[in-house]
Structure 1
Amino acid sequence: MQKLNSSGTHCNTLPRDAELQLRLADSGGSGEGKENGAGAQFLPRTEEGGSFCTKRRMLVGLDVICLCVASIPFFACELKAVTPYKRGFFCGDTTITYPYLEQEAIPDTLLTAGGIVITGLTIAFGECYRVRFRGVHSRAFVQNRYVSCLYKELGSFLFGCSVCQSLTNMAKLSVGRLRPYFLSVCNVTYASINCVPGQYVSQVSCRQPDLKLVEEARKSFFSGHASFAMYTMLYLVFYLQARLSWRGARLVRPLVQFLLVILAIYTGLSRISDYRHHPTDVLTGFIQGGLTAYWVAFFISSMFKPCARPELSPTSTSLESPLSSQQTVC
């Protein structure tokens, strides 16, 4: 059986079946492979353990590559590598005649820092608590149990952040819907372009010298604030549902979850008050962020997956159990 020390799982730890074979085949040989009665060849511990550790490291590298690939659309938009689609408008459309407000209720920096810090710190604290007081272990090759559990939970959360924002930026660039303050930023009016009410204007020459403001005015659909806020807060709601098992007060957890959802909804509604998005942009952002949070929480993260009890394994009755009855492996 594989043994775990107080710091976690070693790289040279073998799977249970391979370890059992090695113990049965071990007759004092130096380092060469041994044969059982059926002619099966057993590899030395160092060779088998090194191969197992290398495979784990390759899987971690694959996770990093997947995270980078999922972030490509997000960085393509943020680095201005792709310009948004230049959509026209109908003359007399009042939904794009709102004034441009420089001040925002929730700026981008506050949104990003708040969403990642609140959710990230809560997950980090929760996983450290589980390892310290609940005796949770991990099968990952990382020796430190805290790092192993944080890698799985925070990694899933960050992957969801990349997917959520990449989908949002891809929609902004491909749709090119005009923001409510488009004409104000473009510094034109319907009278100045001499258009007939109801006529579709495919192109307009903006009098705004700052081209970045004009490009941002073409990224209304859908709201990145609404999608990101809903994803981070709803993901934290799912995490609290899975990890917060204190039964002392029945309404504490629902109250915290309600406040998180309210914070996400307020963030999206503030984009309408700031004339940054149309109501349908915010609604679509809420739906996209909520679906992404559900997908990551239930199909990628391990928060709702049952943990194994090693002492209940059929082979653990004849060999020494590596964990106590109060410990679980996730």
Structure 2
Amino acid sequence: MAVEEKPGVKSSSSIVPCFLFVELVIMAGTVLLAYYFEYTDTFPVHIQGFFCYDKTFSKPYPGPDDTSKIPPVLIYSLVTAIPTLTILVGELCAFFTKAEGTQEKTIVTADCCYFNPLLRRIIRFLGVYAFGLFTTTIFANAGQVVTGNQTPHFLSACRPNYTALGCQSTMQYITERRACTGNPLIVMSARKSFPSKDAALSVYSAVYTVMYVTLVFKTKGTRLTKPTISLTLLCLAMLVGVVRVAEYRNHWADVLAGFFTGGAIAVFLVTCVINNFQQLQPSLPPPRPQRPESVLGMPMVTLPCVESPLEKLSGPQVRGGGGCEARLCSQKRGRDTHPLSLT
């Protein structure tokens, strides 16, 4: 039994299978890949060599990431909580105020299941955000694994035995895998610097939320609300990168690469995947050309007129002159005199 189309209601039989067998599968694969990059040694880190007594990597060891002024737990909590609360509040306000561009139809499937547009928009925006969050993690971890760039405190964590390695000058390059005598876990962490994952996640979260606030929020009576929220979020993300550099955990190049990675992923998802948080507007059909005047309800076929050279030369003084306009006027007068005539 087919579902009758009602105003504000749209029937769809593909939304549930597409969500279960396509989107959830892609999301599960993304989460699984991020887990393997983060918590397993499935993808070994590239081992780069180093110069003896290199001052670029001789900064003091700042301690584990948990002792940082902005620890990873705080970063992960903020990049999860701030966008989620912002999208929930924004969608609730837009739904109850019936903001333009946010009102969608209710989806009916299987003649029984109704998908509210408010719930659909929240799941869509938060689902895309979560997908981008794991994608950013994958990109950052993949870059760290492939490059193997050392952190500024690499030599302090590595503790190489320069005497056993035969280091006579700073120009000697060490490529031995067993050159480090420090804690293997700390040394491995010190080889994962480019790009900065914390900087990438922070900027991704900030840019995604800023674009949502800018494109969805309708603030009447004030011009400073959206700029204040946007600049605050961007400053918090930039502060993460500054702290990473100040604590000798990353180089400036690592932080800038993380900023670019997170920002690019956020802009791509917002503009190309969810259409700037706006409802897709159906394209209007092209207007039909207006028909010429008709006589007795029958359309009149107009034929093109071509002026002759004699009419152009003779001008209005020559009998029969006047060109196409004169003939059209005479035809019109003829139709007025003989209403039953069709020519």
Could you tell me the TM-score, scaled by structure 2's length?
0.72
Q: CA deviation at 1:189?
A: 5.9
Which residue of 220, 228, 243 corresponds with 2:193? 220
Q: CA deviation at 1:4?
A: 6.6
Residue 100 (structure 1) aligned with residue 61 (structure 2) = yes
Structure 2 unmatched ranges of 5 or more: 109-113, 287-343
Aligned-partner SS, 2:221: coil
Which residue of 155, 159, 170 corresponds with 2:131? 159
Partner of 2:151: 179
Q: CA deviation at 1:155?
A: 1.2
Partner of 2:50: 89
Q: Deviations over 1:261-300 (max 9, x none)?
A: 1111111111011111111000111111111111011111
Which residue of 173, 176, 180 corresponds with 1:200? 173
Which residue of 5, 14, 17 corresponds with 1:2? 5
Partner of 2:294: none
Q: Deviations over 1:105-136 (max 9, x none)?
A: 21111111101100111011111222222172
RMSD over aligned Cα atoms: 2.5
Q: CA deviation at 1:191?
A: 5.5
Residue 119 (structure 1) aligned with residue 91 (structure 2) = no
Q: 1:139 to 1:84 in 2, by over 3 A?
A: farther
Residue 137 (structure 1) aligned with residue 104 (structure 2) = yes
Equivalent AA in structure 1 for residue 60 of structure 2: P
- Aligned positions, number: 268
Partner of 1:328: none
Q: 1:118 to 1:273 in 2, by over 3 A?
A: same
The CA distance in 2 between the partners of 1:99 and 1:58, in whole Å, is 55
8 A Cα contact 2:148 2:191, kept in partner: yes
Which residue of 8, 11, 19 corresponds with 1:60? 19
The CA distance in 2 between the partners of 1:138 and 1:222, in whole Å, is 42
The CA distance in 1 between the partners of 2:79 and 2:162, in whole Å, is 40
Partner of 1:27: none
Which residue of 264, 273, 287 corresponds with 2:246? 273
Which residue of 131, 136, 142 corresponds with 1:170? 142
Which residue of 226, 235, 251 corresponds with 1:262? 235
Which residue of 292, 308, 314 corresponds with 2:265? 292
The CA distance in 2 between the partners of 1:143 and 1:286, in whole Å, is 37
Mapping of residues 297-316 of structure 1, within 5 Å:
297-308=270-281
The CA distance in 1 between the partners of 2:174 and 2:37, in whole Å, is 26
8 A Cα contact 1:178 1:219, kept in partner: yes
Q: CA deviation at 1:159?
A: 1.4
Q: Deviations over 1:222-249 (max 9, x none)?
A: 1001111001001111001111111311
8 A Cα contact 1:180 1:278, kept in partner: yes
